[in-house]
Protein backbone atom coordinates (compact mmCIF):
# COMPACT_ATOMS: atom_id res chain seq x y z
CA UNK A 1 0.00 0.00 0.00
CA UNK A 2 1.44 3.46 -0.85
CA UNK A 3 2.94 5.26 2.12
CA UNK A 4 0.83 8.39 1.61
CA UNK A 5 -2.38 6.34 1.70
CA UNK A 6 -1.36 4.75 4.99
CA UNK A 7 -0.63 8.18 6.43
CA UNK A 8 -3.99 9.44 5.12
CA UNK A 9 -5.72 6.58 6.93
CA UNK A 10 -4.00 7.55 10.17
CA UNK A 11 -4.97 11.19 9.65
CA UNK A 12 -8.59 10.15 8.95
CA UNK A 13 -8.80 8.11 12.15
CA UNK A 14 -7.37 10.97 14.18
CA UNK A 15 -9.75 13.38 12.44
CA UNK A 16 -12.69 11.22 13.51
CA UNK A 17 -11.45 11.29 17.10
CA UNK A 18 -10.99 15.06 17.02
CA UNK A 19 -14.47 15.35 15.54
CA UNK A 20 -15.89 13.57 18.58
CA UNK A 21 -14.24 16.18 20.79
CA UNK A 22 -15.93 18.93 18.74
CA UNK A 23 -19.25 17.11 19.01
CA UNK A 24 -19.02 17.10 22.79
CA UNK A 25 -19.06 20.90 22.75
CA UNK A 26 -21.72 21.10 20.04
CA UNK A 27 -24.11 18.86 22.02
CA UNK A 28 -24.57 21.52 24.70
CA UNK A 29 -25.57 24.09 22.09
CA UNK A 30 -28.08 21.67 20.51
CA UNK A 31 -29.78 20.80 23.81
CA UNK A 32 -30.56 24.40 24.67
CA UNK A 33 -31.42 25.51 21.14
CA UNK A 34 -33.76 22.57 20.61
CA UNK A 35 -35.71 23.16 23.80
CA UNK A 36 -35.79 26.92 23.95
CA UNK A 37 -34.67 28.38 20.62
CA UNK A 38 -31.78 30.10 22.39
CA UNK A 39 -28.39 30.04 20.74
CA UNK A 40 -26.27 29.81 23.88
CA UNK A 41 -23.14 31.88 23.26
CA UNK A 42 -22.02 31.02 26.79
CA UNK A 43 -21.62 27.27 26.16
CA UNK A 44 -17.81 27.49 25.80
CA UNK A 45 -17.52 29.54 28.99
CA UNK A 46 -19.77 27.03 30.75
CA UNK A 47 -17.22 24.32 29.84
CA UNK A 48 -14.46 26.51 31.27
CA UNK A 49 -16.45 27.30 34.42
CA UNK A 50 -17.35 23.63 34.97
CA UNK A 51 -13.75 22.46 34.52
CA UNK A 52 -12.41 25.19 36.82
CA UNK A 53 -15.00 24.32 39.45
CA UNK A 54 -14.10 20.64 39.22
CA UNK A 55 -10.38 21.31 39.70
CA UNK A 56 -11.11 23.84 42.46
CA UNK A 57 -13.23 21.33 44.38
CA UNK A 58 -10.73 18.52 43.80
CA UNK A 59 -7.87 20.62 45.16
CA UNK A 60 -9.97 21.78 48.11
CA UNK A 61 -9.58 25.44 47.20
CA UNK A 62 -11.70 28.15 48.79
CA UNK A 63 -13.87 29.83 46.16
CA UNK A 64 -13.53 33.63 45.92
CA UNK A 65 -10.48 33.41 48.20
CA UNK A 66 -8.79 36.48 46.66
CA UNK A 67 -11.92 38.52 47.21
CA UNK A 68 -12.39 37.23 50.76
CA UNK A 69 -8.75 37.90 51.62
CA UNK A 70 -8.85 41.38 50.12
CA UNK A 71 -11.97 42.35 52.06
CA UNK A 72 -11.22 40.72 55.42
CA UNK A 73 -7.42 40.80 55.36
CA UNK A 74 -7.27 37.03 55.78
CA UNK A 75 -4.91 34.60 54.04
CA UNK A 76 -7.17 31.66 53.27
CA UNK A 77 -6.59 29.82 50.01
CA UNK A 78 -7.55 26.20 50.59
CA UNK A 79 -9.39 23.97 53.01
CA UNK A 80 -6.42 21.63 53.29
CA UNK A 81 -8.11 18.57 51.86
CA UNK A 82 -8.29 16.81 48.49
CA UNK A 83 -11.61 15.59 47.16
CA UNK A 84 -11.73 12.29 45.19
CA UNK A 85 -12.37 12.78 41.48
CA UNK A 86 -15.79 11.10 41.39
CA UNK A 87 -17.13 13.06 44.35
CA UNK A 88 -15.72 16.28 42.86
CA UNK A 89 -17.51 15.54 39.58
CA UNK A 90 -20.79 14.98 41.44
CA UNK A 91 -20.37 18.23 43.37
CA UNK A 92 -19.57 20.07 40.13
CA UNK A 93 -22.76 18.68 38.57
CA UNK A 94 -24.65 20.14 41.55
CA UNK A 95 -22.96 23.51 40.96
CA UNK A 96 -24.00 23.39 37.30
CA UNK A 97 -27.60 22.60 38.33
CA UNK A 98 -27.45 25.60 40.65
CA UNK A 99 -26.16 27.65 37.75
CA UNK A 100 -29.12 26.46 35.64
CA UNK A 101 -31.52 27.67 38.36
CA UNK A 102 -29.76 31.02 38.43
CA UNK A 103 -29.87 31.42 34.66
CA UNK A 104 -33.55 30.58 34.46
CA UNK A 105 -34.77 32.51 37.51
CA UNK A 106 -32.65 35.63 37.07
CA UNK A 107 -32.41 35.96 33.31
CA UNK A 108 -34.59 33.90 31.00
CA UNK A 109 -37.75 33.85 33.13
CA UNK A 110 -37.98 37.56 32.43
CA UNK A 111 -37.30 37.19 28.74
CA UNK A 112 -40.03 34.69 27.80
CA UNK A 113 -41.59 35.67 24.48
CA UNK A 114 -38.76 37.99 23.48
CA UNK A 115 -37.17 37.94 20.03
CA UNK A 116 -34.44 35.31 19.50
CA UNK A 117 -31.85 38.07 19.01
CA UNK A 118 -32.64 39.42 22.51
CA UNK A 119 -32.16 35.95 24.00
CA UNK A 120 -28.91 35.57 22.08
CA UNK A 121 -27.66 38.93 23.37
CA UNK A 122 -28.55 37.80 26.89
CA UNK A 123 -26.30 34.75 26.48
CA UNK A 124 -23.43 37.01 25.33
CA UNK A 125 -23.82 38.96 28.55
CA UNK A 126 -24.02 35.71 30.47
CA UNK A 127 -20.77 34.49 28.87
CA UNK A 128 -18.78 37.52 29.98
CA UNK A 129 -20.38 37.51 33.41
CA UNK A 130 -19.59 33.84 33.89
CA UNK A 131 -16.00 34.32 32.74
CA UNK A 132 -15.57 37.08 35.31
CA UNK A 133 -17.16 34.96 38.05
CA UNK A 134 -14.90 32.02 37.15
CA UNK A 135 -11.86 34.30 37.43
CA UNK A 136 -12.98 35.72 40.78
CA UNK A 137 -13.96 32.32 42.10
CA UNK A 138 -10.94 30.25 41.12
CA UNK A 139 -8.23 32.62 39.76
CA UNK A 140 -6.56 32.75 36.33
CA UNK A 141 -3.75 30.26 36.80
CA UNK A 142 -3.48 27.14 34.69
CA UNK A 143 -4.58 24.10 36.68
CA UNK A 144 -3.74 20.48 36.02
CA UNK A 145 -6.82 18.32 35.61
CA UNK A 146 -6.37 14.83 36.95
CA UNK A 147 -9.44 12.62 37.00
CA UNK A 148 -7.53 9.49 36.03
CA UNK A 149 -8.07 9.67 32.27
CA UNK A 150 -5.45 7.76 30.27
CA UNK A 151 -3.34 9.74 27.80
CA UNK A 152 -0.72 8.89 25.22
CA UNK A 153 -0.42 6.46 22.35
CA UNK A 154 -2.63 3.36 22.33
CA UNK A 155 -0.09 0.55 22.05
CA UNK A 156 -2.58 -2.10 20.88
CA UNK A 157 -3.57 0.00 17.86
CA UNK A 158 0.06 0.92 17.26
CA UNK A 159 1.14 -2.74 17.21
CA UNK A 160 -1.83 -4.02 15.20
CA UNK A 161 -1.49 -1.41 12.47
CA UNK A 162 2.26 -1.94 12.41
CA UNK A 163 1.68 -5.63 11.71
CA UNK A 164 -0.80 -4.77 8.94
CA UNK A 165 0.91 -1.84 7.22
CA UNK A 166 4.45 -1.76 8.52
CA UNK A 167 3.61 1.59 10.17
CA UNK A 168 2.00 1.94 13.60
CA UNK A 169 -0.89 4.38 13.81
CA UNK A 170 -1.00 6.96 16.57
CA UNK A 171 -4.31 7.15 18.40
CA UNK A 172 -4.46 8.99 21.71
CA UNK A 173 -6.02 7.00 24.56
CA UNK A 174 -7.80 10.17 25.66
CA UNK A 175 -9.53 10.39 22.28
CA UNK A 176 -10.70 6.79 22.60
CA UNK A 177 -12.14 7.55 26.04
CA UNK A 178 -13.80 10.69 24.62
CA UNK A 179 -15.43 8.61 21.89
CA UNK A 180 -16.81 6.10 24.39
CA UNK A 181 -18.03 8.91 26.67
CA UNK A 182 -19.69 10.70 23.73
CA UNK A 183 -21.45 7.48 22.67
CA UNK A 184 -22.72 6.86 26.21
CA UNK A 185 -23.75 10.49 26.54
CA UNK A 186 -25.75 10.51 23.32
CA UNK A 187 -27.39 7.15 24.13
CA UNK A 188 -28.24 8.46 27.59
CA UNK A 189 -29.69 11.71 26.29
CA UNK A 190 -31.78 9.93 23.66
CA UNK A 191 -33.05 7.39 26.22
CA UNK A 192 -33.84 10.19 28.66
CA UNK A 193 -35.80 12.10 26.02
CA UNK A 194 -37.69 8.98 24.86
CA UNK A 195 -38.43 7.04 28.01
CA UNK A 196 -38.78 9.46 30.92
CA UNK A 197 -41.63 11.77 31.82
CA UNK A 198 -39.24 14.71 32.09
CA UNK A 199 -37.67 13.83 28.77
CA UNK A 200 -41.06 13.72 27.07
CA UNK A 201 -41.90 17.09 28.62
CA UNK A 202 -38.65 18.41 27.18
CA UNK A 203 -39.54 17.13 23.72
CA UNK A 204 -43.05 18.58 23.99
CA UNK A 205 -41.63 22.02 24.81
CA UNK A 206 -39.17 21.67 21.94
CA UNK A 207 -42.00 20.91 19.51
CA UNK A 208 -44.40 23.65 20.62
CA UNK A 209 -43.97 25.35 23.95
CA UNK A 210 -47.41 26.98 23.93
CA UNK A 211 -49.09 23.62 23.35
CA UNK A 212 -46.91 22.13 26.08
CA UNK A 213 -47.98 24.89 28.47
CA UNK A 214 -51.64 24.25 27.67
CA UNK A 215 -51.33 20.61 28.81
CA UNK A 216 -49.73 21.63 32.10
CA UNK A 217 -46.03 21.23 31.42
CA UNK A 218 -43.97 23.71 33.39
CA UNK A 219 -41.84 25.72 30.99
CA UNK A 220 -39.79 26.89 33.94
CA UNK A 221 -38.94 23.34 34.99
CA UNK A 222 -38.09 22.20 31.48
CA UNK A 223 -35.74 25.11 30.87
CA UNK A 224 -33.95 24.50 34.18
CA UNK A 225 -33.67 20.85 33.20
CA UNK A 226 -32.26 21.70 29.79
CA UNK A 227 -29.71 24.20 31.18
CA UNK A 228 -28.70 21.58 33.76
CA UNK A 229 -28.15 18.98 31.03
CA UNK A 230 -26.19 21.52 28.98
CA UNK A 231 -24.14 22.25 32.11
CA UNK A 232 -23.41 18.53 32.48
CA UNK A 233 -22.38 18.26 28.83
CA UNK A 234 -20.18 21.34 29.31
CA UNK A 235 -18.51 19.60 32.26
CA UNK A 236 -17.78 16.52 30.14
CA UNK A 237 -16.35 18.69 27.33
CA UNK A 238 -14.34 20.71 29.85
CA UNK A 239 -12.85 17.53 31.34
CA UNK A 240 -11.84 16.12 27.94
CA UNK A 241 -10.35 19.35 26.60
CA UNK A 242 -8.90 20.36 29.97
CA UNK A 243 -7.05 17.04 30.22
CA UNK A 244 -5.18 17.98 27.04
CA UNK A 245 -4.16 21.53 27.85
CA UNK A 246 -4.71 22.04 31.55
CA UNK A 247 -7.68 24.06 32.77
CA UNK A 248 -7.23 27.64 31.64
CA UNK A 249 -9.17 30.50 30.11
CA UNK A 250 -8.52 29.47 26.50
CA UNK A 251 -10.89 26.55 27.15
CA UNK A 252 -13.79 28.90 26.48
CA UNK A 253 -12.58 29.22 22.87
CA UNK A 254 -13.47 25.60 22.15
CA UNK A 255 -16.96 26.92 21.40
CA UNK A 256 -15.52 28.29 18.16
CA UNK A 257 -14.89 24.72 17.04
CA UNK A 258 -18.52 23.81 17.69
CA UNK A 259 -20.00 26.45 15.38
CA UNK A 260 -19.09 24.81 12.06
CA UNK A 261 -20.28 21.51 13.52
CA UNK A 262 -23.67 23.08 14.26
CA UNK A 263 -23.87 24.74 10.85
CA UNK A 264 -23.24 21.38 9.27
CA UNK A 265 -25.21 19.07 11.54
CA UNK A 266 -28.10 21.36 12.29
CA UNK A 267 -28.91 23.21 15.50
CA UNK A 268 -31.68 20.89 16.58
CA UNK A 269 -30.30 17.39 16.14
CA UNK A 270 -28.24 15.39 18.61
CA UNK A 271 -27.16 12.84 15.96
CA UNK A 272 -26.46 15.87 13.73
CA UNK A 273 -23.97 17.21 16.30
CA UNK A 274 -22.14 13.88 16.24
CA UNK A 275 -22.14 13.39 12.47
CA UNK A 276 -21.30 17.08 11.91
CA UNK A 277 -18.38 16.80 14.31
CA UNK A 278 -17.04 13.73 12.54
CA UNK A 279 -17.29 15.35 9.09
CA UNK A 280 -15.59 18.54 10.28
CA UNK A 281 -12.91 16.60 12.14
CA UNK A 282 -12.04 14.37 9.18
CA UNK A 283 -12.45 17.15 6.58
CA UNK A 284 -10.10 19.61 8.25
CA UNK A 285 -7.53 16.91 9.07
CA UNK A 286 -7.39 15.60 5.50
CA UNK A 287 -7.25 19.13 4.08
CA UNK A 288 -4.36 20.03 6.38
CA UNK A 289 -2.61 16.78 5.46
CA UNK A 290 -3.01 17.11 1.71
CA UNK A 291 -3.21 20.85 0.97
CA UNK A 292 -1.82 22.41 4.17
CA UNK A 293 1.88 21.90 3.37
CA UNK A 294 1.41 23.63 -0.01
CA UNK A 295 -0.11 26.79 1.47
CA UNK A 296 1.79 27.23 4.72
CA UNK A 297 -0.32 25.01 6.99
CA UNK A 298 -2.52 25.99 9.96
CA UNK A 299 -5.65 25.54 7.85
CA UNK A 300 -7.82 23.78 10.46
CA UNK A 301 -9.56 26.84 11.88
CA UNK A 302 -10.74 28.40 8.64
CA UNK A 303 -11.25 25.25 6.61
CA UNK A 304 -13.83 23.95 9.10
CA UNK A 305 -15.94 27.02 8.33
CA UNK A 306 -15.44 26.67 4.58
CA UNK A 307 -16.69 23.10 4.81
CA UNK A 308 -19.68 24.16 6.89
CA UNK A 309 -20.52 26.98 4.47
CA UNK A 310 -20.44 24.55 1.55
CA UNK A 311 -22.99 22.34 3.29
CA UNK A 312 -25.02 25.40 4.25
CA UNK A 313 -25.37 26.49 0.61
CA UNK A 314 -27.02 23.20 -0.32
CA UNK A 315 -28.82 22.46 2.93
CA UNK A 316 -29.39 25.63 4.99
CA UNK A 317 -30.99 23.77 7.90
CA UNK A 318 -27.93 21.52 8.19
CA UNK A 319 -27.76 17.78 7.55
CA UNK A 320 -30.18 16.80 10.30
CA UNK A 321 -31.90 20.11 11.04
CA UNK A 322 -35.64 20.62 10.74
CA UNK A 323 -36.71 22.31 7.55
CA UNK A 324 -38.94 25.22 8.48
CA UNK A 325 -41.62 26.13 5.96
CA UNK A 326 -43.47 29.29 6.80
CA UNK A 327 -46.77 29.86 4.99
CA UNK A 328 -47.76 33.39 4.14
Partner 1 sequence: MKKLLTLTVAGLMAAGPAMAELVFPSLSYRTGPYAAGGIPFADGYADYFTLLNERDGGIGGVMTRVPECETAYNTERGVECYEATRGEGALVYQPLSTGITYQLIPRVTADGIPLHTMGYGRTSAANGEVFEWVFNYPANYWDGASVIINYLLEQNEGSLEGQKIALLYHNSAYGREPIRTLEILAEEHGFELVQLAVDHPGQEQGNQWLTIRRERPDYVVMWGWGVMNQVAVQEAANIRYPMDQFIGNWWAGAEHDVMPAGADADGYLSLNMNVLGDLPVFDEIQQYVHDAGLAAGDGSNLGSVLYTRGMYAAMLAAEAARTAQEIHGVDQIDASMMRDGMEALEITEERMEELGMPGVGPAFEVTCANHGGPGMGRIQQWNAADQEWVTLTDFIAPDDSVTQPLIEEDSMAFAEESGIEPRDCAM
Query: Whose Cβ is closer to partner 1: residue 62's or residue 213's?
Result: 62
| CA–CA dist 187, 180 (Å, integer) | 11
- Residue 1: CB minimum distance to partner 1, A: 15
Binding range to partner 1, per CB under 8 A, among 28-36, 102-110, 177-185, 282-290:
282-290
| CA–CA dist 52, 129 (Å, integer) | 15
Interface pattern 16-55 for partner 1 (x via CB under 8 A): --x-------------------------------------
DSSP for 146-205 reads -S----SB-HHHHHHHHHHHSSPPP-BHHHHHHHHHHHHHHHHHHHHHHHSHHHHHHHHH
Q: By CB under 8 A, what part of segment 61-80 binds partner 1?
A: 66, 69, 73, 77
- Residue 144: CB minimum distance to partner 1, A: 5
| CA–CA dist 315, 308 (Å, integer) | 10
- Residue 285: CB minimum distance to partner 1, A: 6
Residues contacting partner 1: total by CB under 8 A: 43
Among 11, 178, 225, 237, which residue interacts with partner 1 (rule: CB under 8 A)? 11
> How many Å separate Cα 20 from the centre of its chain?
10
CB-CB contact of 97 with 208 (8 Å) = no
Q: By CB under 8 A, what part of segment 154-193 binds partner 1?
A: 170, 172
Among 74, 160, 194, 250, which residue interacts with partner 1 (rule: CB under 8 A)? 250
CA angle 12, 18, 23 (to 5 degrees): 125
DSSP 269: -
**Burial status of residue 210 (CB atoms within 10 A of its CB: 0-12, 13-18, 19 or more):** exposed
> Rounded to 5 degrees, what are φ and ψ at 78?
-145, 165
Q: By CB under 8 A, what part of segment 255-274 binds partner 1?
A: 257
Among 76, 298, 309, 310, which residue interacts with partner 1 (rule: CB under 8 A)? 298
| CA–CA dist 112, 67 (Å, integer) | 34
The reply to whether 140 sits near partner 1 by the rule CB under 8 A is yes
Q: Applying CB under 8 A, which residues contact partner 1?
A: 7, 10-11, 14, 18, 66, 69, 73, 77, 131, 135, 139-142, 144-146, 151-153, 170, 172, 241, 244-246, 248-250, 252-254, 257, 285, 288-289, 292, 296-298, 300-301
Amino acid sequence: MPEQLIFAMEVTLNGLMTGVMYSLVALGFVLIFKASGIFNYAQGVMALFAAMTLVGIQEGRVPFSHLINAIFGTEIYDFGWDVPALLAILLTVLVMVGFAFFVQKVIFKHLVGQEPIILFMATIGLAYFLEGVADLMWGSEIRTLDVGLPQGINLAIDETTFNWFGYGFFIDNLDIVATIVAAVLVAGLVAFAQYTKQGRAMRAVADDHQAALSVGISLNFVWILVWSLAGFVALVAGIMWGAKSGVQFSLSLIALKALPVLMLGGFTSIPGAIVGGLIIGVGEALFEFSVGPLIGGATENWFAYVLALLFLVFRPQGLFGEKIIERV
